[in-house]
Amino acid sequence: MTRRILEERLAKRQPGVLRDPFPHKRGALPPDIPLDLVPRHVAVVMDGNGRWAKERGLSRIEGHKIGEASLFDVVEGAVQLGGITHISAYAFSTENWKRSPEEVRFLMGFNRDTIRRRIGEMDELGVRIRWAGRRPRLWKSVIDELEWAEERTKDNKLLTLTMCVNYGGRWEIADAMVAMGRDIKAGRLDPEKINERTVGRYLDEPDMPDVDLFIRSSGEHRTSNFLMWQSAYAELYFDEALWPDFDRTNLWRACEVFAGRDRRYGGAITNEEQFAAESGPEYDESEYADPDEG
């Protein structure tokens, strides 16, 4: 489908009128999780396409093709559950360039074509599409498609789907340091005033909220250089399902686990009730001061 034809179809959607999520293929319904316990930002490492294909005597490429449906079923399920405002998907990492030329070429074209295939249904659902990643080495046709999708869906507010293509967490932080150094040299940034918020402004997507729930499929227990800064306090969930077998029910199960976890953010007191039950003298900063100072 040409972009002109697709634009014409997208233009026919009545502004403000969104469709309901497609039902689950087996009629599964989302769990009843209080909205304040639902993760707002879910990061997904879509792992296991190659192993899924190998188990069936297929090429790795066939595994990637089947895995496309899993991602968009997860998006439909996130809307159906409610409360999730951001999903970030690890579509192509900076390390994936090490794969065979055939697989890299396929993944480049596949990421480009997936956006074009799915933008209509995402737009109807009210999903905003963003791109996070590095420009060097990335095909111009892929960049063009991602930027067009960003522009076309920029006014959608129900959920943001960030496609992380040619993305690496260490590269993102290194690129931010380069940009900060450039501004320090130009006198636009005072190095003595740099803090976490300053660094955040130099990241690839400065307005991306911190990750609440980090999901990886296929049973691997690694974060693999994905959203390192944003996931500093994320709850980690590792699912045994290979990505092509992963769907919205796996997402819902992860969200149920998330809802039952105790998020402390480095503190020992978990909530006001516990604080009230265990309260003693008010915190005195002098008790923790360095005795050699002063």
What is the set of active-site residues? 47, 96
Instruction: Tokens for 291, please give them.
Output: 């005795």
Instruction: Tokens for 286, please give them.
Output: 């002098």
At how many degrees (to 10) do helices 3-11 and 140-152 cross? 10
At how many degrees (to 10) do helices 248-259 and 60-81 cross? 50
Q: Which residues pair with 160 in a beta bridge?
A: 86, 128
Rounded Cα distance between 92 and 118, Å, is: 17
| Nearest partner of 67 among 244, 249, 218, 215, judged by Cα | 244
Instruction: Tokens for 71, please give them.
Output: 């991602």
Cβ distance 238 to 219 under 8 Å?
A: yes
Neighbours of 90 (CB within 10 A): 25
Q: Which string of DSSP letters, residue by residue, matches 78-144?
A: HHHH----EEEEEEEEGGGGGS-HHHHHHHHHHHHHHHHHHHHHHHHHTEEEEEES--TTS-HHHHH
Q: What is the per-residue burial (b if ≥16 Cβ within 10 Å, else e) of 123-145?
A: bebbbbbbbbbeeeebeeebbeb
